[in-house]
């Protein structure tokens, strides 16, 4: 019997029960029905009427090529597996490339602000190396999926946006039960492969969201973002002495060529051979693969020599090329100025795999490989904010700084003050959450003599007066009471304050900077914060990313480590072992930079010898990571990690710790599933699922 008819009969009653969210043509969740049929038969569907061809092909690969079983979804190990993508891949990029890609992805984050979309970056093998807004709205399993080091390889988890993009080498999107793994059914995933100048797959850009209906819209976004990142990466990393920028001679409606609005880039060496190209460049040249043009003379491909291109550029003449009959392009010839001491990374360098000591010594080695002397580390996140804040201070425009607790909001305020036009003037800090509600009015505005019992004879000036001609920093502004928000708004609007018990207003000239770790916009919608005060404080807003999402996280850790070594006047240089670097990279850092400083100080004090090992890390820090791996939504603490169990942590993958926690809970409750689920903070269904995945029994 035909598979489509078979599915239709077998699931005829089930179709009516499908929710509207999953309903497709005639109210039938066709991918859902097809997936259920595949689970029962163990075979991918053969009809194009039920799933898209891209989905059917992916399911076929999962079953026939990888030997995966539907519903037997497993959380995948951290091992890196080569992707059978039909082309070359780079399993893991070196630190320079990873930082560059993470920075480019980080610059996309403002476009996804206030959405339920998490942006992911994986290496060519599908191992997650960077995540932003990671799992904020995805629930416990979603947060588990977006942890650094997790594998999205199609061979391990089945088809998904990132892993499948590496296989088919083009942008893809999957929605709900189009995923082979049931773990991904609540989500939509989108992926875009990122290629180097020679066509090597170096990374994967991806998105995951619980808003499943937005999959195709996000696919359009990731296409644009992917091409922009590839172009920027090409300009930063591609070898060659010259760059040829190509564009269409005429932009016309209905052009059959893809990406006709994007410039194509071709890289040439000094002899005129093509050594690199972007995909937009390939499309404009009507080529399918990099191998069609790589290492061929530009004269053969474009019909013009490098000397002729250089001559036209010197005469400032437009360069017009005819690639084929009636296919004309315009070209711009650019000479790249590369200093003699600078070494352009080769494809082998871009595709360097992870080594055991890449964190301990690789950071300095990578930096020194490109420069004669390593440059001092610079905090690019703060530098960008400082540049913008300089002009804001001149106009006395209020500044609002947002971000999680511990990301360095107070440090940024001090930097703004020290580098602004009001440096040398007072900087007054007010923690709105630390001052009792009944005292904050007198703390801000001061009070007149004898205004209340216990008042000073001479009165008190208040923080506004103390900050006159300087900067007033209102920290934790989201915790201010509503009635005091009204008084603060009046003071900001009029630049006048009236002390408690006084009657004469006092003029003040202050630059107001407020900070909060709360969602002020959400508080406004809930009526917990005045809308007019929010817009009064939000003259310009700076968001500081959490440590786990910073593209320069490893550089920041290295910099702060060196600062702590100097501060403690160590007799000799101390380094962090490769195992410690791996933990630091994958840790969620809920306390952000404040937590990082405390951990570095503690483990430095505990280090005996020249290298810090896992055994030197604080117990609560390791417990925190174990709790995070459990995916416990309520943040329950897992059993303490004793000193004896620490060496085992160094040799285990995080997925092994999850299995060990389940074994421990089952042993503690004598196999009682309900009690074990409560111990682990998960549901019974989830526990059964995990037990099946790890092959555990009662």
Per residue, what are the HEC states of 336-390? CCCCCCCCCCCHHHHCCCCCCCCCCCHHHHHHHHHCCCCCCCCCHHHHHHHHHHH
State the Cα–Cα distance between residues 171 and 169, nearest whole angstrom.
Answer: 7
- The phi-psi region of residue 631 (left if phi > 0; otherwise alpha if psi is between -120 and 50; otherwise beta) is left
The torsion angles phi and psi of 512, rounded to 5 degrees, stand at -95, 125
Residue with tokens 């107070």: 410
Residue 317 near residue 328 (C-beta atoms within 8 A) = no
Which DSSP string do the residues of 146-205 spell out, in sequence order? TSTT-B--HHHH-S-HHHHHHHHTS-EEEEGGGSSSGGGTT-EEEEEEEE-TTS-EEEEE
- Give the residue from 436, 521, 534, 430 showing the smallest Cα distance to 481: 436
State the Cα–Cα distance between residues 418 and 407, nearest whole angstrom.
Answer: 19
- 225-261 pLDDT, tens digit per residue, is 998 899 999 988 888 889 989 888 765 545 444 445 6
Residue 129 near residue 148 (C-beta atoms within 8 A) = yes
The torsion angles phi and psi of 475, rounded to 5 degrees, stand at -85, 150
Q: What is the pLDDT of residue 267?
A: 92
Residue 401 near residue 415 (C-beta atoms within 8 A) = no
Decide: helix, strand or coil at residue 7.
helix
Q: Under CATH, to which class is 240-335 assigned?
A: alpha beta
CB atoms within 10 A of CB 371: 12
Q: What is the pLDDT of residue 90?
A: 39
Strand partners, 430: 474
Domain locations in the chain as residue ranges:
1-49, 52-236, 240-335, 381-543, 548-694
381-543: same fold as 52-236? no
Residue with tokens 């607790």: 405
Residue 203 near residue 124 (C-beta atoms within 8 A) = yes
Integer CA distances (angstroms), 579 to 358, 359, 688, in order = 10, 8, 32
State the Cα–Cα distance between residues 311 and 516, nearest whole angstrom.
Answer: 58
CATH of the domain spanning 52-236: 3.30.450.40
The torsion angles phi and psi of 476, rounded to 5 degrees, stand at 55, 50
Q: Where are the alpha helices (DSSP H) in 395-507?
A: 409-419, 437-445, 463-466, 482-494
Give the sheet arrangement for strand 264-268, strand by strand: 274-277, 264-268, 242-248, 327-335, 319-324
The torsion angles phi and psi of 513, rounded to 5 degrees, stand at -125, 125
Residue 146 near residue 138 (C-beta atoms within 8 A) = yes
Residue 221 near residue 207 (C-beta atoms within 8 A) = yes
Return the ∠ at Cα 409 (arms to 490 and 393), rounded to 5°.
Answer: 55
Enter the tokens of residue 670.
């004598």
Q: What angle, rounded to 10 degrees, do the helices at 161-168 and 53-60 form?
A: 90
Enter the tokens of residue 157.
């988890």
Buried b (16+ CB within 10 A) or exposed e, 102-122: bbbbbebeeebeebebbbbbb
Enter the tokens of residue 487.
């008084």
Q: Where are the alpha helices (DSSP H) in 514-616?
A: 520-525, 531-537, 553-567, 578-586, 592-606
Enter the tokens of residue 479.
């915790």
Q: What is the pLDDT of residue 650?
A: 39
Q: What is the pLDDT of residue 261?
A: 60
CATH architecture of 548-694: Orthogonal Bundle (1.10)
Q: Which stretches of the chain drop beneath a pLDDT of 70?
A: 1-29, 47-49, 72-94, 134-137, 250-261, 325-326, 337-375, 453-455, 570-571, 626-658, 685, 689, 692-695, 697-698
Per CATH, the homologous superfamily of domain 381-543 is P-loop containing nucleotide triphosphate hydrolases (3.40.50.300)
Which DSSP string do the residues of 623-691 spell out, in sequence order? HHHHHHHHT-TT-PPPPP--TTTHHHHHHS-HHHHHHHHHHHHHHHTTT-HHHHHHHHTS-HHHHHHHH
Enter the tokens of residue 40.
């029962």
State the Cα–Cα distance between residues 693 and 279, nearest whole angstrom.
Answer: 40
Q: What is the pLDDT of residue 693?
A: 66
Residue with tokens 């042993």: 667
Helix (H) or strand (E) holding 268, with range, is strand 264-268
Residue with tokens 């360098």: 349
State the Cα–Cα distance between residues 248 and 236, nearest whole angstrom.
Answer: 24
Q: What is the pLDDT of residue 415?
A: 92
């Amino acid at each position: 019997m035909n598979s489509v008819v078979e599915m239709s009969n077998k699931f005829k009653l089930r179709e009516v029960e499908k929710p509207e969210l999953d309903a497709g043509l005639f109210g039938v969740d066709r991918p859902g029905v097809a997936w259920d049929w595949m689970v029962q038969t163990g075979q991918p569907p053969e009809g194009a009427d039920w799933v898209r061809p891209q989905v059917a092909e992916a399911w076929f690969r999962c079953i026939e090529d990888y030997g995966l079983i539907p519903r037997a979804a497993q959380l995948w190990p951290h091992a890196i597996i080569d992707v059978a993508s039909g082309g070359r891949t780079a399993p893991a990029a070196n630190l320079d490339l990873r930082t560059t890609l993470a920075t480019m992805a980080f610059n996309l984050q403002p476009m996804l602000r206030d959405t339920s979309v998490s942006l992911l970056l994986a290496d060519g093998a599908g191992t997650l190396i960077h995540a932003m807004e990671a799992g904020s709205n995805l629930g416990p399993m979603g947060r588990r999926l977006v942890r650094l080091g997790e594998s999205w390889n199609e061979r391990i988890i089945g088809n998904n946006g990132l892993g499948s993009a590496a296989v088919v080498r083009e942008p893809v999107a999957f929605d709900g039960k189009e995923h082979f793994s049931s773990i991904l059914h609540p989500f939509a995933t989108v992926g875009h492969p990122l290629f180097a100048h020679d066509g090597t797959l170096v990374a994967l850009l991806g998105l995951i969201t619980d808003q499943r209906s937005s999959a195709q819209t996000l696919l359009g976004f990731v296409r644009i973002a992917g091409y922009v990142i590839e172009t920027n990466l090409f300009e930063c990393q591609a070898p060659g002495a010259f760059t040829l920028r190509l564009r269409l001679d005429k932009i016309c409606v209905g052009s059959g060529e893809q990406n006709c609005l994007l410039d194509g880039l071709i890289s040439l060496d000094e002899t005129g051979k093509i050594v690199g190209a972007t995909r937009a460049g390939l499309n404009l040249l009507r080529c399918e693969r990099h191998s069609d043009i790589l290492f061929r003379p530009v004269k053969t491909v474009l019909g013009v020599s490098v000397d002729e291109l250089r001559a036209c550029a010197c005469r400032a003449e437009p360069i017009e090329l005819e690639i084929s009959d009636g296919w004309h392009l315009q070209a711009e010839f650019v000479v790249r100025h590369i200093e003699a001491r600078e070494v352009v990374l080769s494809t082998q360098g871009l595709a360097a795999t992870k080594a055991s000591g890449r964190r301990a010594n690789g950071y300095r080695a990578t930096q020194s490989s490109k420069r004669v002397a390593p440059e001092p580390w610079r905090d690019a996140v703060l530098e960008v904010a400082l540049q913008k804040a300089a002009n804001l201070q001149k106009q006395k425009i209020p500044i609002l700084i947002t971000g999680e607790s511990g990301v360095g909001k107070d440090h940024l305020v001090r930097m703004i003050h020290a580098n602004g036009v009001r440096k040398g003037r007072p900087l007054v800090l007010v923690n709105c959450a630390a001052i009792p509600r009944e005292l904050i009015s007198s703390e801000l505005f001061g009070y007149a003599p004898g205004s209340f019992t216990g008042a000073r004879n001479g009165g008190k000036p208040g923080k506004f007066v103390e900050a006159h001609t300087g900067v007033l920093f209102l920290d934790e502004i989201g915790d201010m009471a509503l009635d005091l928000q009204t008084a603060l708004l009046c003071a900001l609007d009029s630049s006048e304050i009236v002390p408690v018990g006084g009657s004469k207003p006092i003029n003040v000239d202050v630059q107001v900077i407020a900070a909060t770790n709360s969602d002020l916009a959400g508080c406004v919608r809930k009526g917990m914060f005045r809308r007019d005060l929010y817009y009064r404080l939000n003259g310009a807003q700076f968001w500081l990313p959490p440590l786990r999402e910073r593209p320069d996280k490893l550089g920041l850790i290295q910099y702060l480590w060196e600062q702590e070594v100097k501060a403690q006047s160590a007799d000799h240089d101390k380094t962090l072992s490769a195992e410690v670097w791996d933990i630091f990279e994958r840790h969620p850092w809920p306390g952000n930079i404040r937590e990082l400083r405390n951990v570095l100080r503690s483990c430095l004090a505990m280090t005996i010898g020249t290298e810090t090992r896992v055994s030197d890390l604080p117990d609560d820090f390791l417990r925190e990571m174990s709790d995070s791996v459990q995916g416990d939504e309520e943040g329950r603490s897992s059993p303490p990690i004793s000193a004896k169990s620490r060496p085992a942590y160094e040799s285990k993958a995080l997925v092994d710790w999850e299995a060990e926690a389940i074994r421990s809970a089952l042993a503690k409750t004598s196999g009682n599933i309900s009690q074990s689920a409560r111990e682990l903070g998960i549901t019974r269904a989830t526990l059964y699922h995990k037990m099946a995945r790890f092959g555990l029994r009662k």
